[in-house]
Amino acid sequence: MKALVLLSGGLDSTTCLGMAVGRHGPEQVGAVSFAYGQKHARELDLGEQIAAYYNIERQVIALPHEVFAGGSSTLVEGGPANPTGSYADLPPGVSPTYVPYRNGNLLSMAAAVAQKAQSRNPFESVVELWFGAHAEDAEGWAYPDCTPEFIGSMANAIYVGTYHAVRLVTPLEWLTKAQVVRQGLALDVPYYLTMSCYNGTVPACGKCPTCISRIAAFKDNGVDDPIEYASFTNAQIVR
């Protein structure tokens, strides 16, 4: 295996997967998804369909839900309701949708998986660990575990801590959401299979920050988002 992709089933990670498959071919790419108690666990089923579309192997790992539950995160089962409105409308400070050090955990677990894949063949080169954080995730420190500062440190910790077997690769790190979609459209990424909605509903709620961000990203590219929405609450993004 040359690349292991963190695949949530969302727009960014699926674009990442499309880029990895384009680079290395499906037989050299694997994906890993995580169950951590997210409300939008439907993304795990979509991850399976996306992996089938790309003809790659995908595994699902369950993390101990109790670690991420019981705090203030709106993203996990038992947490408060997800906010409505765009990311820009959220108050400064800890994002309500932040899950305690989630990405540190997902990356660490994926690094162990990638390391094992590499050690099966010591003559194989380093395994790339692809992670689809993009620039707007980091804006205003909305998600500190998506910032370049976090990514740089984590990349080094993983590289050192795996005997240089695993390298973190973040091709979307400096791209806006619209630029991510532009990359994906050029690669025919199957966006109709992806979901972004924090509430995990079908159709997508259209009101939560990530729905709004996603709709705007497609609009900026002059194309229709292929998934369905229940409503559009933000006048700026009604087409």
Separation of CA 85 from chain center: 20
**Single-letter code of the amino acid located at 139:** E
> Could you say whether residue 125 binds a copy of itself (CB under 8 A)?
no
Question: In sequence order, what DSSP letters do the residues of the chain get, joined into one string?
Answer: --EEEE--SSHHHHHHHHHHHHHH-GGGEEEEEEESSBTTTHHHHHHHHHHHHHT-EEEEEE--HHHHSSSS-SSBTTSPPPP-S-GGGSPSSS-TT--TTHHHHHHHHHHHHHHHHHHT-TTS-PEEEE----HHHHGGGSSGGGSHHHHHHHHHHHHHHTTT-EEEE-TTTT--HHHHHHHHHHTT--GGG----TT--SSB-S-SHHHHHHHHHHHHTTS--SS-BS----GGG--
Q: Does 52 bind a copy of itself (CB under 8 A)?
A: no
Taking the complex as a whole, the smallest distance from the CB of residue 73 to a copy of itself amounts, in Å, to: 9
Instruction: Kindly indicate which of the ranges 38-46, 146-154, 183-191, 207-215 contains the residues binding a copy of itself, using the contact rule CB under 8 A.
Output: 146-154
Q: Enumerate residues 165-194 that contact a copy of itself by CB under 8 A.
A: 166
Residue 113 binds a copy of itself, judged by CB under 8 A: yes
Tell whether residue 67 is a contact of a copy of itself (CB under 8 A). yes
Residue 157 interacting with a copy of itself (CB under 8 A): yes
- Choose which of 55, 125, 153, 231 interacts with a copy of itself (CB under 8 A): 153
- Nearer to a copy of itself by C-beta: 153 or 236? 153
Query: Contact between 119 and a copy of itself (CB under 8 A)?
Result: yes
CB of 222 to a copy of itself, least distance (A): 35
Burial class (CB in 10 A: 0-12, 13-18, 19+), 183: middle
Candidates 143-151, 170-178, 214-222, 231-239: pick the segment binding a copy of itself (CB under 8 A): 143-151
Q: Which of 104, 124, 190, 201 is close enough to bind a copy of itself by CB under 8 A?
A: 104
By the rule CB under 8 A, 128 interacts with a copy of itself: no
89 binds a copy of itself (CB under 8 A): no
Q: Does 100 help bind a copy of itself (rule: CB under 8 A)?
A: yes
Binding positions for a copy of itself, rule: CB under 8 A: 61-64, 66-68, 70-72, 94, 98, 100-105, 107-109, 111-113, 115-116, 119-120, 141, 144-145, 147, 149-150, 153-154, 156-158, 160-163, 166
